[in-house]
Amino acid sequence: GEDVEQSLFLSVREGDSSVINCTYTDSSSTYLYWYKQEPGAGLQLLTYIFSNMDMKQDQRLTVLLNKKDKHLSLRIADTQTGDSAIYFCAETAGGYNKLIFGAGTRLAVHP
Amino acid sequence: DTAVSQTPKYLVTQMGNDKSIKCEQNLGHDTMYWYKQDSKKFLKIMFSYNNKELIINETVPNRFSPKSPDKAHLNLHINSLELGDSAVYFCASSWKGETQYFGPGTRLLVL
B9 in contact with A at a CB cutoff of 8 Å? no
- pLDDT per residue of chain B (111 residues) written in tens, 0 to 9: 679 999 999 999 999 999 999 999 999 999 999 999 999 999 999 999 988 889 888 878 999 999 999 999 999 999 999 999 999 999 999 998 789 999 999 999 999
The 10s digit of each residue's pLDDT in A64-100 is 999 999 999 999 999 999 999 999 999 987 766 789 9
CA dihedral A27, B32, B47, B18 (to 10 degrees): 160
| Per-residue H/E/C for chain A | CCCEEECCEEEEECCCCEEEEEEECCCCCCEEEEEEECCCCCEEEEEEEECCCCEEEECCEEEEEECCCCEEEEEECCCCHHHCEEEEEEEEECCCCEEEECCCEEEEEEC
Contact between residue B38 and residue B61 where contact means Cβ atoms under 8 Å apart: no
Chain A residues touching residue B103 (CB < 8 angstroms):
42
Looking from the CA of A65 toward its CB, the CA atoms found within 13 Å total 23
Burial of residue B90 (number of CB atoms within 10 Å: 0-12, 13-18, 19+) = buried
Q: For residue A13, give how far its alpha carbon lies from the nearest alpha carbon of chain B (Å).
A: 24
Contacts of B31 in chain A (CB under 8 A): 96
